[in-house]
Amino acid sequence: MRRAAVVVAAGALLSGAVMHGSAQAQDVSAQAATLREAADAKGKFIGTAVADHRLSDSRYNNIAANEFNSVTAENVMKWDSIQPSRGSFNFAAGDRLVDFAQANGQQVYGHTLVWHSQLPSWVSNGGFNATELNTIMTTHITEVMNHYEGDVEYWDVVNEVFNEDGTLRQSVFQQTIGQSYIANAFRAADAADPNAKLCINDYNVEGDNAKSDGLYNLVQSLLGQGVPIDCVGLQSHFILDQIPSTLQANMQRFAALGLEVNITELDIRINMPADSAELQRQATQFGNVVSACLAVSACQGVTVWGFGDADSWVPGVFPGQGAACLYDDNYNAKPSYNGVLTALGGTTDPDPDPDPDPVEGCLASYQVTSRWNAGSVVQVGVTVDEAVSGWTVTFSLPAGESVTSSWNTQLTQSGTTVTARNASYNGSIPAGGSLSFGFQTNSGAVYSAPVVSLNGAACEAA
Ligand code: G3I
């Protein structure tokens, strides 16, 4: 029953969100204000690749938890992470992702069992014969899938097995075992966890072309041989303005074979610097990809390959390109976020300004970071459960204490009441994100931290 534990019923409240503060609660189920709420309402998954080393950043962690109902390990379930030397299995980082997913009511999409890349040299350069390598491959699949049985819904059993012309890539598995390694891998996977969905995953197979024809012919042949294969993953690492026009038709032809077909690694890269017109087109194109999935009933969901531009693999591999994700370098939602949300049937903030919306919940920190006899410096931070477009933070200072300067805010004071509004550049806070600003006063008096309110609602103290 793993699936039932994972997919949240249509319209259900966000299972990963923690409610803070006294706020004016709204029925967010009707609004579908997050990606996962909107996807839940459609009975689909919206996923993200998760970088293990980024989970300790609260902004990253909150967005991963609150916006997505599916997660894929960006690296830590690959062969070189899990079995770096023969017979030595290291599941710690993969287990962290499973724990994260279970804490947040998310499905885990397993990536990946057999791949020519991120393959330790003891495998790629081991000089094994076909029987030995087949045993090594089968053992890896069996050990990993047994370990995660019941916790991982899908597995990319084989990844990137094709050349661009539709012939099979000459990986160590292909060269040593021959094409039968693919069927062997799926059979081993099915034996290890009969309930997992078993997928073949690749890039540049999103449109109708020689490579996707090769993939189509292979899966058709595997199905004909009774090989247990359930799904095709279209990675979808796209370039702005170059989304294949045949995407939906191509998905449909795989669906017609009786296979599930998902978008597994979506991003849309742009030549840097990206201007606002490009970001708007990117939003439309993200939305179009999601819409193509929704239009094909065999498409169960879309996974983005990381959500923040700062964490994306793109600039490292394609110098001069980037801005490929849903959030910018500071985890502010980009137009592309709204493109996905809207395509999923969710609602973006209909009233962004000038009257900020009340917040669902917030957690506020108020810290005097330095204090001397005639002054103090205060840093205020507020973390929000729901996305906020425009913010006004209010609190009181002791009588006689005046603000003398401030930063990252437009701040006014009337008597003891301080009102801090967003600056032009920091008004948009994504769900799970934070605002912060600071100020200096003319007094070093010691006092208790005041109640901090956001857009009229009192926040819980952090
Ligand atoms: O773990 C080492 C670390 O010990 C070392 O200090 C560091 C120095 O560079 O490298 C670390 O390994 C990096 C690894 O990511 C983990 O962070 C590798 O250099 C780096 O090449 C690797 O990149 C990953 C890439 O797959 C490898 O091919 C990307 O993060 C990951 O996003 C990318 O994901 C792939 C999918 O799995 C398959 N489809 C294409 C997609 C994008 O390339």
**Cβ(394) – ligand 1 distance below 6 Å:** no
120 and 206 in a common domain = yes
CA distances from 373 to 269, 294, 396, 444 (A): 53, 63, 20, 5
Tens digit of each residue's pLDDT (9 = 90 or more) over 264-276: 999 999 999 999 9
The verdict on 158 and 297 lying in the same domain is yes
pLDDT category of residue 15 using cuts at 50, 70 and 90: very low
d(CA 54, CA 62): 11
In a domain, 391, yes or no: yes
Range of the domain at 422: 362-461
Residue nearest ligand 1's atom 16 by CA: 75
Query: Can you tell me the distance from the alpha carbon of 22 to that of 359, in angstroms, rounded to the nearest whole number?
Result: 10
Please check whether residues 137 and 264 belong to one and the same domain: yes
Closest by CA to 162, choosing from 149, 179, 137, 144, is: 179
Residue 144 inside a domain? The answer is yes
Lowest mean pLDDT among 10-14, 41-45, 129-133, 323-327: 10-14
Residue 146 sits in the same domain as residue 232: yes
> Would you state the pLDDT for residue 390?
84
CATH assignment of the domain containing 275? 3.20.20.80
In a domain, 354, yes or no: no
Statement to judge: residues 77 and 191 lie in one domain: yes
Of 316, 343, 370, which marks where a domain is finished?
Answer: 343
Look at ligand 1, atom 27, and give the residue with the nearest C-alpha.
118
CA distance 50 to 72: 6
Q: How much is the pLDDT for 19?
A: 29
236 ligand 1 Cβ < 6 A: no
444: CATH = 2.60.40.290
User: How many domains, the chain?
Assistant: 2
373 in the same domain as 233: no
Domain contains 269: yes
Q: How far is CA 194 from CA 142, 198, 280, 449, 458, in A?
A: 11, 9, 43, 56, 50
Considering the chain, what is the average pLDDT of its residues? 90
Q: Considering 313, 343, 373, which residue would you say is the last residue of a domain?
A: 343
The finding on whether 313 has its CB within 6 A of some atom of ligand 1 is: yes
Same domain for 337 and 382? no
**CB 74 less than 6 A from any atom of ligand 1:** yes
pLDDT single digits (tens) 210-265: 999 999 999 999 999 999 999 999 999 999 999 999 999 999 999 999 999 999 99
**Nearest atom (ligand 1) to Cα of 53:** 17
How close is the Cα of 76 to the center of ligand 1, in Å? 10
Instruction: Classify residue 351: in a domain, yes or no.
Output: no
CA of 111, closest atom in ligand 1: 37
- Out of 142-151, 187-196, 198-207, 356-365, least confident range: 356-365
Active site residues: 265
Residues 329 and 373 in one domain: no
- Let me know whether 261 and 132 are in one domain: yes
- Residue-wise pLDDT tens digits, 40-63: 999 999 999 999 999 999 999 999
Say if 355 falls within a structural domain.
no
Kindly report the number of other CB atoms within 10 A of residue 16's CB atom: 22
Pick the closest to residue 418 from 391, 452, 448, 384 (CA basis). 452
The answer to whether position 286 is within a domain reads yes
Residue 348 lies in a domain: no
Last residue of a domain, one of 343, 373, 391: 343
In three state form, how does the secondary structure of the chain look?
CHHHHHCCCCCCCCCCCCCCCCCCCCCHHHHCCCHHHHHHHHCCEEEEEECHHHCCCHHHHHHHHHHCCEEEECCCCCHHHHCCECCECCCHHHHHHHHHHHHCCCEEEEEEEEECCCCCHHHHCCCCCHHHHHHHHHHHHHHHHHHCCCCCCEEEEEECCECCCCCECCCHHHHHHCCHHHHHHHHHHHHHCCCCEEEEEECCCCCCCHHHHHHHHHHHHHHHCCCCCCEEEECCEEECCCCCCCHHHHHHHHHCCCCEEEEEEEEEEEECCCCHHHHHHHHHHHHHHHHHHHHCCCCCEEEECCCEHHHCCHHHHCCCEECCCCECCCCCECHHHHHHHHHCCCCCCCCCCCCCCCCCCEEEEEEEEEEECCEEEEEEEEEECCCEECCEEEEECCCCCCEEEEECCEEEEECCEEEEECCCCCCEECCCCEEEEEEEECCCCCCCCCCCEECCEECEEC
The verdict on 75 and 108 lying in the same domain is yes
Q: What is the mean pLDDT of residues 403-417?
A: 83
Q: Are residues 387 and 254 in the same domain?
A: no
What is the distance, to the nearest Å, from the Cα of residue 460 to the centroid of all Cα atoms in its chain?
27
Per-residue CA distances from 200 to 110, 234, 427 (Å): 12, 9, 42
Q: How far does the centroid of ligand 1 lie from the alpha carbon of residue 75, in Å?
A: 6
Closest residue to atom 30 of ligand 1, CA basis: 313
Each residue's pLDDT tens digit, 103-122: 999 999 999 999 999 999 99
How far is ligand 1, taken at its centre, from the CA of residue 245, in Å? 30
pLDDT at site 30:
46
Cα–Cα distance, 286 to 237 (Å, whole number): 11
User: How much distance in Å is there from the Cα of 233 to the middle of ligand 1?
Assistant: 19
Do 322 and 371 share a domain, yes or no? Answer: no
Cβ within 8 Å of residue 349, ≥6 positions away: 357, 387, 389
CB atoms within 10 A of CB 150: 12
Q: What's the CA-to-centroid distance between 274 and ligand 1, angstroms?
A: 24
